[in-house]
Amino acid sequence: MRRNVVINWGVSSFFGWGVYGLNLALAWANDPEVGLVCGLPVNPSNLAIDPVRFRTLHPFLQNSAALDAVLKDKEGQALTVRGPMLACLDREFRIIVSQGVKMSGQPTLGVTFFETAVLDEAAVRNAASYPLIITGSTWNERVLRAYGLTNVRTILQGADPSLFHPAPRPEPASDRFVVFSGGKLEHRKGQDIALVAFRRFAERRPDALLVAAWHSPWPAYARSIDKTGLAAPVAFTDKGELDSAAWAAANGVPADKFLDAGRTPNAFMPHLYRQADVALFPNRCEGGTNLVAMECMACGVPVILSANTGHLDLIEEDNCFALTNQRPVTNEPGAAGHGAAEGWGESDVDEVVELLERAYAHREEARARGARGARALSRLTWTATAAQVKDAVLSCC
C-alpha cells in the first residue's frame, strides 16, 4: 500500500526548505510505496521546473490542495493526519504550526537543521519524544547524542546532477574574476566577512567582480548581520526589501565591482555558478551542509568554505579551500535562544583574502580543487537523499 507522507513546510524553487520539499516530491512522484503531501499551500508559480516533470507532480498538487482545504477548517486546533509525517521542528524541537493547525502523524518524525550546540531541558525532552529525528549534518547529530539522545539519523541534502554538474561556462564568458557569494543575508551566513574581504581583495585586483545571491523571502533576517560591526549597516529599499548594491557601496565596493543576482529560482542557478572563478562561504554556522555551497561544488566551482559545523561534511582533502582559522563567535548572545553561539566559527578576514588571492594567482590549482569537489558531490544527490528519507519513514511505520 502506498503511504502518503505529510510535511509541514513549504515547497518552492526559491529557498532551501522549499527545494528540499520539491525534490522529495519529485523523487517520490512515481514511487509505489511513498508519496509526498504538503501541509502548506503550494503555488505552482513558485515551482521552476520543466513541463514534463511538472506533470508528474499533479497527484502531489491535488493531494496537497485537499489537505489545505481540511486545514482551513481546523485553524486553532490539533490534527492527526493519517499516516507518517515529516515535521519541521522549531528551536525547542516542537512541531512548527502549519496554517494555524498543529499537525501530527502516525508516526511523526522530526526533521531539523538547528544552529546551536547548547540545548535546554525542554528541548532535550521534546527531542526525545519522537521515534526518530532526521538531522541535516553530523554536527547536529553529535550535539543531540552528546545529550544522550539515540533516536537520531543524519541524512545529508543533495544536488540534482541533471542541473548541477561540471560544464563549460555560458558564452560569452566574463572577462572578470568572478567571486560568487550566496545564501540569505544574515549574521549566521557571514556575508559581512565576505564583503569586507572582497573589498580588500578587489583593491589589489581591478578585474574582480562580486556576484551576490543574497535575497530570500525573509529580508528582515538581514538586520542580524549588523550586530558584528564588521561592516556598515545593511541597506533596504523604501519597500523594506534588501538593497544589496547599496550595502556593497556603503562598504567601499564600487558599483562596477558588484552585481546583485536578484531572486533567482534554483533551476537557473547552475548558469550563474559556472560563471564564477571561486565561490566564497565564510559562514559562521550551518545546521545542514549549506545547499548553495553543495550546488557550487557539484558544478565544479572552486569553493572557499569555513571549517565549522555543517560545512565539515563537505570538506575533504583538497576538494576546496578550507578556512581553518576559526575563532569562537562572541557577538551572538541570542543564538537560537540558548545563550552563546556554541560551536559556531568566526572566519578570519585575512585568511579569506589570502585564499581569494591564492585562487586568483593559481587558477590550475583552483580548478583541480573544483574538480575534486564535483567528484565528492556526485555522491550526494537528491535521489540518494529521498531514498534515505524513505527508508527512515518506512522503518518507523
Instruction: Mark whether 341 and 254 lie in a shared domain.
Output: yes
CATH number of the domain within which 92 lies: 3.40.50
Are both 132 and 184 inside the same structural domain? no
Tell me what pLDDT residue 332 has: 58
- Helix (H) or strand (E) segment spanning residue 86: strand 85-88
10-residue averages of pLDDT along the chain (397 residues):
94 94 98 96 94 97 95 90 96 91 95 94 97 98 98 98 94 90 95 98 97 90 92 93 96 97 90 97 97 98 98 97 94 47 92 98 98 97 98 95
- Rounded CA gap, 51 and 163, in Å? 16
How far apart (Å, rounded) are the C-alpha atoms in residues 38 and 5?
8
Q: Are 143 and 256 in the same domain?
A: no
Q: Is residue 163 part of a domain?
A: no
Look at residue 334 in the predicted model and tell me its pLDDT.
Answer: 45
147: left (phi over 0), alpha (psi -120 to 50) or beta: alpha
Coil, strand or helix: which one is 37? strand
Same domain, 269 and 336: yes
- Same domain? For 202 and 319 the reply is yes
Within this chain, do residues 33 and 118 fall inside the same structural domain, yes or no? yes
Q: What distance in Å separates the CA atoms of residue 114 and residue 206, rounded to the nearest whole number?
A: 39
Domain count, the chain: 2
Q: How far is CA 134 from CA 106, 332, 336, in A?
A: 16, 26, 19
The answer for residues whose C-beta is within 8 angstroms of residue 66's C-beta and 6 or more apart is none
Residue 57 lies in a domain: yes
- Within a domain: residue 164? no
Cell readout for 97 is: 504550526
- Please give the DSSP secondary-structure letter assigned to residue 109: E
Rounded Cα distance, 317 and 104, in Å: 42
Asked if the structure places residue 166 within a domain, the reply is: no
The answer to whether residues 208 and 65 belong to one domain is no
53 φ/ψ angles, rounded to the nearest 5 degrees: -70, -35
- Residue 394: CB atoms within 10 A of its CB come to 13
Q: What is the pTM of this model?
A: 0.94
CATH number at residue 283: 3.40.50.2000
Q: Which three cell numbers stand for residue 128?
A: 526525545
Say whether both 227 and 345 belong to one domain.
Answer: yes
Predicted pLDDT at 333:
47
- Is residue 170 in a domain? no
Q: Are residues 196 and 252 in the same domain?
A: yes
Residue-number span of the structural domain to which 119 is assigned:
3-158+381-396
- The C-alpha cell that represents 280 in the structure block: 566564497
- Give residue 146's pLDDT: 97
Q: Which three cell numbers mark 141?
A: 547529530
Residue 172 lies in a domain: no
Q: What's the CA angle centered on 231, arms 225 and 235, to 5 degrees?
A: 70
Q: Grid coordinates standing for 291?
A: 545547499
Within a domain: 282: yes
* pLDDT score, position 397: 85
- Shared domain check, 282 and 147: no
> Is residue 190 a part of any domain in this protein?
yes
Contacts of residue 304, defined as CB under 8 A and 6 or more positions apart, other chains included, come to 278, 279, 280, 281, 282, 320, 321, 322, 323, 352, 355, 356, 359
- Tell me what pLDDT residue 80 has: 94
Report the alpha-carbon distance of residue 36 to residue 121 in Å, rounded.
33
pLDDT for res 335: 42
Helix axes 291-298, 363-377, angle to 10 degrees: 110
Q: Residues 319, 386: one domain?
A: no
Pick from 231, 326, 120, 55: which is nearest to 223 by CA? Answer: 231
Give yes or no: residues 261 and 387 share one domain: no
